Amino acid sequence: PSPQALTALAGRHGAGLGLGRLGRWAEAGEVHRAVAAERAHLLGADHPETLASRYEVAFTLSRTGRAADALREYQHVAAARTRVLGADHADTLATRQEMAYVLGRLGRHFDAHQVYASVLAARVRTAGPDHPDTLRCRHNLAFNLSRLGRLEESYRMASEVAVARARVLGPAHPDTLVTRYEVAYALGQLGRWPEALQTYREVAVARAQALGPDHPDTLAARYETGISLGRLGRSAEALRLYRDLVDDRTRIHGPAHPETLRARHGLGVNLGRLGRWEEALAESRDVCAIRERVLGADHPDTLVSRREVAVGLGWLGRWTDALTEYRRVAAAREHLLGADHPDTLAARNDEAHCLERLGRGQEAVALYRRVAVLQQQRAAGGA
């Protein structure tokens, strides 16, 4: 191929990367797919530049919610890079690390753990324990440990990575703050909410200084601060925080953005905790209606809002209306996730509780028994 053709392809590859940095992942994917096809034709399917384009194709698939497609693409690139560059080459390890991330997105956390552990061993061996790429892999591994329920290990590893990143990158570096955010999450999972609250607050302040008060990461830390306040029974403070966050999210993203609606959901939950159920019900109904319109009737966020509507109806003594909403949530989750999924079973328990409150004890007992059998079968299958 002519140098001009290769230069043109490199320019288009760079343009695809630029689209990705702007969050225009679908357009970036189209560019990378076209460049990958031309590079394969001109240079060969296993040429490093062809594989670089296919890696970016996989990355855009992951960022547009097509995790299964991304996994297949990463597996191809990882195998080819192992063959061409070697198993310990930085590009091979980067591909396998992204492959592990996608496995986690698909709920395959045990498989992800095995890949992360293997990549981490190679990173330490080839780059050293304090290399930013090694620390990134350890961060990912800590995150994945929490999803496996290994909370103490997750907390310890995240804490170690936060200290190392602060030493290597600086305490205000975005990567350091990402890991401190993960430390706070692990503390919350362990029920150590005062420490989680303190850490989230520190991260929110540091992100506001380093990234700006309107940066998505800053706003995310403020949201989790509100969660921690609510868990500690400090709902009046949480309510004030969420009102401010709703105002900021609306100004930045608009009233129908998923993150604006998530902040409004938090506001509604804390209205309920303060016993202001009429206001809480009105808020949850409004959020549910917008989520249904924007995200779809069966989106997980919409179903969470619908459950919150049912909770409000129950607290106001309107159990017949609450039962209708609980049943809609349970039916949608069973259709989407399966009858024995934990979220489906939780919804069926809500439904049974509602039947109890309506004096329909026999139906409630039958449903509780059905849930118990499904839980037992699921536990036996997991064993």
Calculate the alpha carbon distances from 105 to 69, 129, 150, 343 in Å: 12, 26, 18, 17
Write out the two tokens for 28: 């970036």
383 pLDDT exceeds 60?
A: no
**Average pLDDT over the chain, rounded to whole?**
95
User: Structural domain tally of the chain?
Assistant: 2
Q: What whole-number percentage of the chain has pLDDT above 90?
A: 96
In this structure, the answer to whether residues 336 and 309 fall within a common structural domain is: no
Which pLDDT tens digit goes with each residue over 119-162? 999 999 999 999 999 999 999 999 999 999 999 999 999 999 99
Q: Which residues contact 3 (CB under 8 A, 6 or more apart)?
A: none
In a domain, 179, yes or no: no
Domain carrying residue 364? 330-383
pLDDT reported for residue 378: 84
In a domain, 117, yes or no: no
pLDDT reported for residue 288: 98
379 pLDDT exceeds 90?
A: no
Mean pLDDT of 310-329: 97
- What CATH number did the domain enclosing 300 receive? 1.25.40.10
Which pLDDT tens digit goes with each residue over 55-113? 999 999 999 999 999 999 999 999 999 999 999 999 999 999 999 999 999 989 999 99
233 pLDDT exceeds 80?
A: yes
In a domain, 112, yes or no: no
Q: Which residues contact 324 (CB under 8 A, 6 or more apart)?
A: none
Mean pLDDT of 188-204: 97
In this structure, the answer to whether residues 312 and 351 fall within a common structural domain is: no
In this structure, the answer to whether residues 247 and 311 fall within a common structural domain is: yes
How is residue 233 annotated by DSSP? T
pLDDT reported for residue 382: 62
In a domain, 167, yes or no: no
231 pLDDT exceeds 80?
A: yes
Q: How many Å apart are CA 274 and CA 165, to the nearest integer?
A: 40
Give the other-Cβ count within 10 Å of 243's Cβ. 14
pLDDT reported for residue 381: 73
